[in-house]
């Protein structure tokens, strides 16, 4: 993925990546909650998953836009940065890897 090297050292970008990872887990919990609710049990698991997902979404988008704002004027478009964000969440990089 051809992303600006400034993003790897940007705290807001790293926060957006981690918040999106938490969002993935929250969606899995919400899905498990749907299964639990459909079996006639209490909706607490679904509620917890949805609340965590909403919080992770807010943190992801806020951090994403702060990171985008801190890039130099030749910044990539919004859609390409969204693809970079998803790519970074599923392709972990070693901190020792040179940029």
Q: Which of 80, 49, 81 is nearest to 65 (CA)?
A: 81
For residue 23, pLDDT beyond 80: yes
Tokens of 35: 């299964």
Tens-digit pLDDT profile for residues 74-96:
888 888 889 999 999 998 764 54
12-30: average pLDDT: 95
CA distance linking residue 44 with residue 25, whole number of Å: 16
For residue 20, pLDDT beyond 90: yes
17-36: average pLDDT: 95
Q: Which of 72, 48, 58 is nearest to 15 (CA)?
A: 58
Mean model confidence pLDDT for the chain? 87
Element spanning 28, H or E: helix 11-38
Contact 2, 84 (CB under 8 A): no
For residue 6, pLDDT beyond 80: no
Supply the DSSP string of 75-96, one letter for each residue. Answer: PPPHHHHHHHHHHHHHS---TT
Task: Report pTM.
Answer: 0.83
């Amino acid at each position: 993925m051809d992303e600006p090297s400034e993003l790897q050292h940007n705290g807001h970008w790293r926060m957006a990546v981690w918040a999106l990872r938490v969002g993935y887990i929250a969606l899995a919990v919400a899905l498990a909650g749907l299964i639990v609710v459909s079996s006639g049990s209490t909706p607490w698991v679904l509620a917890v998953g949805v609340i965590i997902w909403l919080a992770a979404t807010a943190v992801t988008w806020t951090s994403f836009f702060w990171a985008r704002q801190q890039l130099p004027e030749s910044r990539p478009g919004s859609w390409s940065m969204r693809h970079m964000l998803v790519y970074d969440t599923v392709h972990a990089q070693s901190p020792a890897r040179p940029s």
